[in-house]
Amino acid sequence: MSRRPPSPVVAARFIAGRPGAPLATMAMASALLALAPGLSAQSAQDAPSGLQRSEIATRTSMGKVSGSRLAKYTVFGAAAGAGLAMGYWAVSERGQRGSNCEPLDCALPYLTITGAIAGLFLARELETQRIALTPREGNTVEFSTLAAPLLSPPNWAESADSLLVVASDSGVQVLNTQLAKPAATARRAAGLRAIRQVALLPSRSAVVLGTGTALFETPLLTGPARRVSDGAVSALASNGSAVLSASGTTLRLMRDGQNSVTDTLVTSLPVNSLIWDARANHWWATTDSSLTAITVTEQGLRSGDALSIPPGARRVAVGSNYLAIALGDAGLLVYPRASLSATRDGGVISPLRMVGEPRFVFDVEFLGDTLYAAGGVDGVYRIELTPEPRIIDSSRQFPFATLVRNLNGKMWVGDRGRQEMIRVEQK
C-alpha cells in the first residue's frame, strides 16, 4: 500500500517548527505557507468530478506542463535558498546563531530544500496560468484595435450607416465610427434605467429602447423620449422601417409612420431574442426550446413552424449562407440556409452544433461566412463553418467580451471589462 507524499503545507510547517531552525529558514517556510493555499486549491482541481472534470481534461489536452520550466525554477529556488543561507552565515555572529546552527547541517540544507520546493510550486502556478491562457483549439491571433470609450459596460449595440448605438446602464451613446478616433456624438435616454436592448429606425432617425418596464422611442440625436407601450421588453429587432418587440409571450409590431403598436401575436413560450432576416424577408424569434419564423401578413403577425433548439438562446445572427444561435454555456448552433429551406418543403433539418469551446457564447455575428463569437473571459473566437464548424483562432485581448457587431465590413467588440466598443482588424 503506497503512502501519499506530504503536502507543501505539512512540509513547510515541519520546517518552520523544527527546534533550532534559523530565522531565514523560518522566513522561507512562512513564504511557502503563504503560497501553499493557492497551490492546494489548484491541486484540488486536478482531480475534480462531474462537469469540472471534462473542463479540465479539455484544458490539459491542449497544453502540457513544461518539465524544463519546472526544473529551471526548482534549480533557481534551490540556488536562491543556498545563497540566502550562506549570506546568513556570513553576516551573523556565532553567538547570535540560534542553537549553534552550522552551515552544512542546518542553514544550507534547510534553505536549499525550501527554496527548491518554493521554486517548484511557483513554476507549477505559472505553468497553470500559461496553459489557461493558451487556446484550447485553434491558434492565437492578435488584432489591430481601435477603441471607443463608454460611460459604463455595454449591454447591447446596433449599427446603421456609420453609427453605432450602444445601450448601457448609463443610457444610450451614439458613436460616430468615421472619426479618426471613434467617439460618442450624442447621449440619449440618460434618465432611463435597465435599458436591455436598442433598435434603430433610420426611416425616422429614431432609436427604440427596450427596458425592464416599457418600450420607448427617442430621436437619434436630440429630443425627448416617449413611452410606446408598457411591459418589460425581453427582445427587440428592427428591419429599418418597423420594430418588433417581445414582452414575455407577447410580440408587438410598430410599423413605419405609426406611433403605437399596430399588431400583436401571443406565443406559447416567452421570447428571448429577435432578429430581422433581410435575405428571408421575415423575423426569427427564439424561446428556450424553439426557433420560429415570424412574418407580417395582411392579417397581422403570423408564426411559422417551430424548430426545436437547446435552451439558453441569447442571440441569433444571420449570414448569407448560415444562421447561428448563441446558446450560452450550451455552446453554439448553426443552421445552413439550405436546411432551413428544406424544412419548409418537408425535408429534414441538419443543424451543426459546437459544444465545449467556446465555453460560454455570449454573442455571435457574421463577417462574410466567418462567424465571430464573444466568449467573455475567453475573448473573441473566429469560427469557420465549412465543411463543419471549426475554431480558426481566438484572441485574449479583451478582458470580458460580450458583444460582436458587423458595421460596414468591420467587426466591433463590446468589452465589459474595459467599458469600450473596440474595432478589430487582422494585422
C-alpha cell at 329: 454555456
**Domain boundaries in the chain?**
8-134, 143-426
pLDDT tens per residue, range 262-278? 899 999 999 999 999 99
- Please indicate whether residue 241 or residue 1 has the higher confidence score (pLDDT): 241
Q: Collapsing DSSP states into helix, strand and coil, what is residue 12?
A: helix
Residue 341 half-sphere exposure, CB side, CA atoms within 13 Å? Answer: 7
Does this model's pTM top 0.75?
no
Q: Are strands 235-238 and 243-247 parallel, antiparallel or unpaired?
A: antiparallel
Would you call 410 helix, strand, or coil by DSSP? Answer: strand
C-alpha distances in Å from residue 93, one per residue of 103, 216, 293, 404: 13, 81, 86, 67
The grid coordinates of residue 240 equal: 429599418
Strand order in the sheet with 154-160: 154-160, 163-168, 171-176, 183-188
Mean pLDDT value of segment 107-128:
77
Where does 298-427 show beta strands of DSSP type E? 300-303, 307-308, 315-318, 322-326, 332-336, 352-354, 363-367, 370-374, 380-384, 390-395, 401-407, 410-415, 420-426
User: SS3 for 311?
Assistant: coil
8 Å CB contact between 221 and 174: yes
Residue whose C-alpha is closest to residue 366's, from 423, 327, 410: 410
Q: Is the CB of residue 149 less than 8 Å from the CB of residue 420?
A: yes
Q: What is the mean pLDDT of residues 240-261?
A: 86
237 pLDDT band, cuts 50/70/90, is: very high
Task: Classify 204 as helix, strand or coil.
Answer: helix
Q: Which residue has the higher pLDDT, 36 or 89?
A: 89
**Options 2.130.10.10, 2.60.40.1080, 3.40.50.800, 3.20.20.450; which CATH number does 143-426 get?**
2.130.10.10
* Percentage with pLDDT > 90 across the chain: 41
The helix or strand, by DSSP H or E, that contains position 35, with its residue range, turns out to be: helix 23-45
Q: Which residues contact 409 (CB under 8 A, 6 or more apart)?
A: 367
